[in-house]
Amino acid sequence: MKLVIVGAGGHAKVVLEVFRALGSHDVVGFIAPDMLGAQVLGLPVLGDDTLLPRLRKEGVQAALVALGNNRLRQRIGRQLQEMGYLLPAAVHPSALVSPSARIGQGVVVMARAVVGTETVLQELSILNTGAVVDHDNSIGAAAHIAPGCALAGNVVVGDRTLIGVGTAVRPGIQIGGDVIVGAGSAVVSNLEADCRVGGTPAKPLRNR
């Protein structure tokens, strides 16, 4: 099945390598503004998102939104579904995924990540390289668990929340939607929606 990757930055390159490792789709190229004609790992940037309806008509059935911005990824994902694209999940063959885990549409699970027993990754979320989400986690739509994070059991992460690289989260913690947890943090108490925290233990961050 033909697939287009929306985005052409670092995350998009890694996603292409996931599909190459899987051999599951024929990736036709990338969609990105102002990059027409550029090559990314040997595949072309085909144009900007105005091209997507035409590609769909020409037989590209699937798309993967490879954009790091969580809100934008969710918005573009919805638009692609409305255009009739399928949004397959991309799970690297080296990831360890429990047979009782559930993985939503458009989810990306990078190399060496671990998805624990009865954990749910909701649509368009990212579990990045080497991140571990243990048993009974719920990771919200378009959330991003960055490389090397470790979420213990029964953790809830809200929609569009970013858990920064290398963060640890204590068991049973609930984190609201649209939260940013800074790199290298330790989350040891629940976090309300829409906040920005960092450090060990994680505390609210000042805006500079």
Ligand X SMILES: CC(=O)SCCNC(=O)CCNC(=O)[C@H](O)C(C)(C)COP(=O)(O)OP(=O)(O)OC[C@H]1O[C@@H](n2cnc3c(N)ncnc32)[C@H](O)[C@@H]1OP(=O)(O)O
Binding site residues, ligand X, CB under 6 A: 128, 146-147, 164-165, 180, 182-185, 198-199, 205-206, 208
Q: Closer to ligand X at the Cβ: 119 or 185?
A: 185
Read off the tokens for 192: 């309300």
CB of 82 to ligand X, least distance (A): 28
8 Å CB contact between 205 and 182: yes
Angle at 16 between CA 10 and CA 22, to 5 degrees: 140
8 Å CB contact between 1 and 25: yes
CB of 181 to ligand X, least distance (A): 8
Listing DSSP states for 66-118 in one string gives: --S-HHHHHHHHHHHHHTT-B---EE-TT-EE-TT-EE-TT-EE-TT-EE-TT
Q: Closer to ligand X at the Cβ: 27 or 127?
A: 127
CB of 127 to ligand X, least distance (A): 11
CB of 188 to ligand X, least distance (A): 14
Say which residues have a Cβ less than 8 Å from residue 150's Cβ, sequence separation at least 6.
131, 132, 134, 167, 168, 169
Say which residues have a Cβ less than 8 Å from residue 57's Cβ, sequence separation at least 6.
none
CB of 68 to ligand X, least distance (A): 7
Q: Closer to ligand X at the Cβ: 95 or 146?
A: 146
Q: Closer to ligand X at the Cβ: 51 or 205?
A: 205
Q: Closer to ligand X at the Cβ: 46 or 133?
A: 133
Angle at 152 between CA 137 and CA 165, to 5 degrees: 95
Helix, strand, coil share of the chain (percent; to 5): 15, 30, 55
By Cβ distance, which residue is nearest to ligand X?
A: 182
CB of 53 to ligand X, least distance (A): 30
Q: Closer to ligand X at the Cβ: 26 or 194?
A: 194
